[in-house]
Amino acid sequence: MITVDKLRKEFKKTVKEPGLKGSVKSLFKPKSKKVIAVRDISFEVPKGEILGFIGPNGAGKSTVIKMLTGILTPTSGSCTINGKNPTQNRKNYVKEIGVVFGQRTQLWWDLPLRETYGVLKEIYEVPDDSYKKRMAFLNEVLELDDFISSPVRTLSLGQRMRADIAASLLHSPKVLFLDEPTIGLDVVVKDNIRKAIEHINHHEKTTVILTTHDLADIEQLSKRIVMIDKGSKVFDGTISDLKSKYGQIREMYFETGSKNAVEVLGYAKHFNLGDDDLSVETEGNAVKVRFNSSAVPVSDMLSYTLGKINISDISVKDADIEEIIRKLYEQGVE
Amino acid sequence: MKKIKRMLKIHRIFMAQEFKRMMEYKGDFIVGVIGFFLVQLSNLMFLWIIFGQIPNLAGWSVNEVVFIYGLSLIPKGIDHFFFDNLWSIGYFTVRKGDFDKYLTRPVNTLFHVLVEKIQIDALGEFIMGVALVCASVPNLHTEWDVFRILAMIFMIPFITLIFTGVKTITASVAFWTKRSGNVIYMFYTFSEFAKYPATIYNRFVQNIITYIIPFALTSYFPALFILKGENPLFNLGMPVLASAVLMGTGVLVWHRGIRAYESAGS
Amino acid sequence: MMKRKLKIYLPFVNAGMQEVATYRVNWIFFMLGEALSCFVTYFIWAAVYSSGSKESMNGFTMPQMIVYIVLMFLTGTIIASDGAFVVGEEIRDGSIIMRMIKPVSYNATFLFQELGNKLPTEIAIAVPMIITVEIIRTVMSGMFEFNVLRLVLYILSCALAYLINFYFNICFGFIAFVIKYLWGANMMKNVIVGFLSGMVIPLSFLPEAIEKVFLFLPFSSLNYTPVMIYMGKYGGTELLYCVGLQIFWVLFFFGLSKLLWKASVKRLSAQGG
C-alpha cells in the first residue's frame, strides 16, 4: 500500500536575461524564482492495483514519480510504502520498489545482458536459489532467452525494454514504477510488453504505477487513473468515472452518396453548436461527426441526419479515452 | 562487520565486470596506459634537461626530487585507478539525470559511484611512480630503517584519500550547479604542486598547498620524514588528519548535495 | 562569391558565441586550472635560475622565461581546437555519414563555429595577458620593449598556427577508425604535441640536433613560432622562413584532411553504411 500525503516540490530556477550582458549579470548576481512543480498532491494506491498516472507535458508527472522513487527529495509532504519512507531510509525503501525509465537503461551497456542480472543480484542481495527461480520466471514472461548472452548495446529497443523490466523485477519488489515503458516501440512489441506487465501484476500482486503518453497503455492495463495538471491533482477515479464525467462526446460515422452532404446538413447552424461541441471530417464518401451529446441528444442527431440526406451506412459510438483526455489537456479541467 | 563484508563483495563484483569490459576493448586501454605514461615521461624529460643545467634544485638533489615526484604519483595513481568515476559525476552524470540510477538502488550512493568503475589508464601513472621511487632509493643518502619503510606503506592509503576527498567535494558541487567537471579539474590541478619539493614555492603557495588544498601533504611532507627523519608528528600526522577531514567533508557535502539533486527532464 | 559564402557561415560564428556564454562559469574554472599548471612551471624555473650560476640559459634570462611561460599559455589557448574530438566522435557514432549529404563544407562550418566560440574569450584573455607580459618585462628588465609590429606579426602567426592546429586535429580525428578510446588517443597526441611544440621546455634547451628536427616538424609552427616572434627572437630571413613554414603546414594539413575525407568516404560507402 502506497500513501502519498501532501507531496510538494519547489524548484529554484535561475532567471537569466538574454544576451551576453544578461549572462555576465547572472554570473555576479544570479536571480532566481521559485517554481512549484508539484502542489500538495495526495492519493493512495492499494496493493495489487495498476494505477495510470497521466497529465500533459510539464504537468509534474516525472517530478512526482521521482519523489516516489526516492530520487528527488520532497520540499514537504511524504510518500510511504508499507510504512517505509524514502527520505528517512532510502536504502530500505528502494528495496521495495522496482523502477523502469523508458528513456534510460540501468543495464551494463558493454556486457552481455546476463552480467547485469548477476550484478543486480548482489546489489539487491537476492539469495542464489530465489535468483534461479526468479530468472526462470522472468525468462518465461519476458522471453529473455533469445538475447541474454548478447551485449546490451546490440539489443533492439523492444528487447532492451524487456530486459530493463526484468532487471527492475529481479528482487521481487512490491511496487513497480514504469515511466513511459512503451515509448518508441512498434505496436506488436507494445502489446507484448503490456501483456507481460499484466501477467506480473496478476501473478504476483505487484502494485504498478504507470506513466505514459500512449493512452492505450492505460486503457488496457489500469482501472484507475490519477491525472495531474500544473502540479495539482485534477482527477482521481476509474476510467468509467472519467468517461461518465467528461465523456459526453460521441462519434457518428456514416457513408453517403450525396454530394455536398456536409453543407446540406449544416449541423452547426441547425443545432447552434460551437467548435468545442462539434467537429466534422470527410474522407471520400465517409463522414465522421464528433459532437457533444449533452448539447444535442444522440436521437436528435440521428433523426436529423437520416431525414436530410441519403445514408448507406451509419453508426454512433462513445469517444475513446484518448479523445476525452486530449480534450481535457487542451481545455484544462475545471 | 556484515556491512563491510557486503561492501567488499559488491566492490569485487564491480571490479570483475570492469575487467570483463576491458577485455572487450583491450587495445584501447593500452592507449590510455601509454598515454598517462607519456605524460609523466615528458615531465621527466623536463626534469632531466634542467638538471643538466644546475647541480641541485633549491638545495634538493636530483634523486630527492625524483623520489618526491615518484612518491606523488603512487597515491595519485591509486585514486585514479579506483575512484575515477567521480569525474563523470561532475561532467555529465548529474547533468543528464543519469544519477537517478544510483538513487533507486539499495546501496550507499557514494560507495556505488566510487566502486562502479576502474580506470586502467592509471597504471601509467602508478607504474611510473613505483619505478621512480625504486630508481631513486639506491642513490639517496638516507638511512633506511623498518620504521621508515613501514611509514611509507602505511601512509599511502591515507594519502590516496586526500585525492579522493578533494574529488568528492568538488564533484558534489554538480548537485547544485549541474556541472562541476572543471571545478574538479581546477582543484585536482593543485596536485601538480605536489610533484616538487614545496620549498621552491613562495610562502603563500606553500600555505595553500599545506593547509587549504593540501596536496603538499601527499608527497613532500611524508618525504621529509622518509628521507630525513624530520618531525614525524607533523609530516605523518597531518596527511592522516587531512585525509580524514577531506573525506569526511566529502561524505557530508555529497549527502547534502543529493537532497538538492534535481534530476533532469520535466 | 566570397560574400555569399560568408553569409552561409556567419550563423555558425554566432552559434559558437552563444554556446560560450552559456558555459562561461565552467570555462573560467577550466582556465584557472590551466593557469595553475603555469604557476607550477614558473616556480620551477624560478628555482632553476636561482640554483644555477648563469644569468641566461640557452638564450633565456629569467624575465624572458616568465614571458615565455605566459605567452606559451596564451598562445596555447588561442590556437586550441576541438576538431580531433568532434571528428572522432562522429566516426565512432557513425554520424559522419551525415556529412556526405550536407551541401556545405563541414570543416568550414566547424571552423566558423569554433571561431565564434573562441573570439570573445580570446580577446578577453589576450588583452590583459599581453599587458601583464609587458608589465612583467618592463619591471624585471627595466626596459619598455613593446613593439607594435611584433604584436601584429604575432597575431598573424597565431592565426596561421590556429589553422595548422585546426586541420591537424581534423586529420588526427580520423584515428577513430583505428582507436575507439578517443580520450586516450587525444591525451597521447596532446602530450607529444606539447613536448614537440615547446610547451614543456623551450626547444633551445634541447640538444642541437634534436632542436633542428623539432623546428622543422609542424608542431613548432604551433606555439613556438608565434611566441618566438613576439619575444623578438626571430629577425629578418629567419622570421620569413618560419612564417613560410607555417603557411606550408597549413596547406599540407588542409590537403591531408581532404585526402583523409575522400579515403573515409570510400571506406564508408564500401561498408554500405
**Domains, chain A, ordered by start:** 2-10+38-243 (3.40.50.300), 249-318 (3.30.70.260)
Domain around C132:
2-19+59-271
> What is the per-residue pLDDT for C17?
65
Reduced to 3 states (helix: H, G, I; strand: E, B; else coil), residue A34 is: strand
On whether the CB atoms of residues C246 and C188 are closer than 8 A, the answer is no
Is C29 within the bounds of a domain? no
Q: Which of residues 79-98 of B touch A (CB under 8 A)?
A: 97-98
Q: Which residues of A fall within a CB distance of 8 Å from B13?
A: 118-119, 122
> What is the per-residue pLDDT for B89?
96
Q: Which of A147, A207, A149, A157 is nearest to A182 (CA)?
A: A157
Mean pLDDT to the nearest integer, B39-44: 93
Domains in chain C: how many in total? 1
| Chain position carrying cell 624529460 | B45
> What is the per-residue pLDDT for A26?
59
Mean pLDDT to the nearest integer, A1-5: 91
Residue C95, C-alpha cell as written in the block: 554520424
pLDDT exceeds cutoff 90 at C107: no
> What is the per-residue pLDDT for B193?
93
> What is the per-residue pLDDT for C273?
43
Is C209 within the bounds of a domain? yes
- Range of weakest confidence among A165-169, A236-240, B77-81: A236-240
> What is the per-residue pLDDT for A174?
93
Is C228 within the bounds of a domain? yes
Neighbours of chain A (3+ CB pairs under 8 A): B, C
On whether the CB atoms of residues B183 and B175 are closer than 8 A, the answer is no
Mean pLDDT to the nearest integer, A85-95: 90
Model confidence at B37, pLDDT cuts 50, 70, 90, reads very high
On whether the CB atoms of residues A202 and A108 are closer than 8 A, the answer is no
All structural domains of chain B with their residue ranges: 2-260
Residue A132 or C4, more confident? A132
Residue in chain A closest to C26 (alpha carbons) equals: A27
Alpha helices in chain C (DSSP H): 2-22, 24-51, 62-79, 83-93, 106-141, 148-173, 182-196, 208-216, 224-230, 236-271
Residue in chain A closest to C22 (alpha carbons) equals: A23
Best mean pLDDT range from B1-15, B76-90, C177-191 = B76-90
Instruction: From residue C194, give the alpha-carbon distance in Å to each of C32, C125, C160, C187.
Output: 19, 21, 18, 10
The residue type of A89 is: N
For every residue of C166-189, DSSP letters joined together read HHHHHHHHGGGGT-S-HHHHHHHH
Distance of CA A301 to the CA centre of its chain: 34
> What is the per-residue pLDDT for B266?
47
Model confidence at A44, pLDDT cuts 50, 70, 90, reads very high
Model confidence at C140, pLDDT cuts 50, 70, 90, reads confident
The residue type of C221 is: S
Residue in chain B closest to A106 (alpha carbons) equals: B101
Q: Is B190 exposed, middle or buried (0-12, 13-18, 19+ CB in 10 A)?
A: buried
Model confidence at A334, pLDDT cuts 50, 70, 90, reads very low
Is C109 within the bounds of a domain? yes
Nearest to B106 among A57, A63, A124 (CB): A124
> What is the per-residue pLDDT for B84?
94
Best mean pLDDT range from A223-227, C68-72, C99-103 = C68-72
pLDDT exceeds cutoff 80 at A323: no
In sign, the C-alpha dihedral spanning B143, B147, B150, B152 is negative
**A90–B103: do the CB atoms touch at under 8 Å?**
yes
**B98–A73: do the CB atoms touch at under 8 Å?**
no
Give the C-alpha separation, C145 to A207, whole Å: 79
pLDDT exceeds cutoff 70 at A31: yes
Nearest to A119 among B17, B98, B101 (CB): B17
Model confidence at A133, pLDDT cuts 50, 70, 90, reads very high
The alpha-carbon gap from A238 to the nearest alpha carbon of chain B, in Å, equals: 26
pLDDT exceeds cutoff 90 at B239: yes
**B50–C201: do the CB atoms touch at under 8 Å?**
yes
Give the C-alpha separation, A243 to A329, whole Å: 15
The alpha-carbon gap from C209 to the nearest alpha carbon of chain B, in Å, equals: 15
Mean pLDDT to the nearest integer, B182-188: 95
C220-247, pLDDT tens digit by residue? Answer: 999 999 999 999 998 889 999 999 999 9
On whether the CB atoms of residues B122 and B36 are closer than 8 A, the answer is yes
B116-152, pLDDT tens digit by residue? Answer: 999 999 999 999 999 999 999 988 888 888 888 898 8
Give the C-alpha separation, C88 to C1, whole Å: 32
The residue type of C82 is: D
Q: Which residues of A fall within a CB distance of 8 Å from C22?
A: 23
Q: Which of B173, B195, B197, B175 is nearest to B185 (CA)?
A: B173
Q: Which of B266, B263, B248, B209 is nearest to B100 (CA)?
A: B263
- On whether any CB of chain C is under 8 Å from the CB of A23, the answer is yes
**B185–C51: do the CB atoms touch at under 8 Å?**
no
Nearest to B106 among A71, A94, A104 (CB): A94
Parallel/antiparallel/unpaired status of strands A175-179 and A207-211 = parallel
Nearest to B265 among A62, A69, A115 (CB): A62
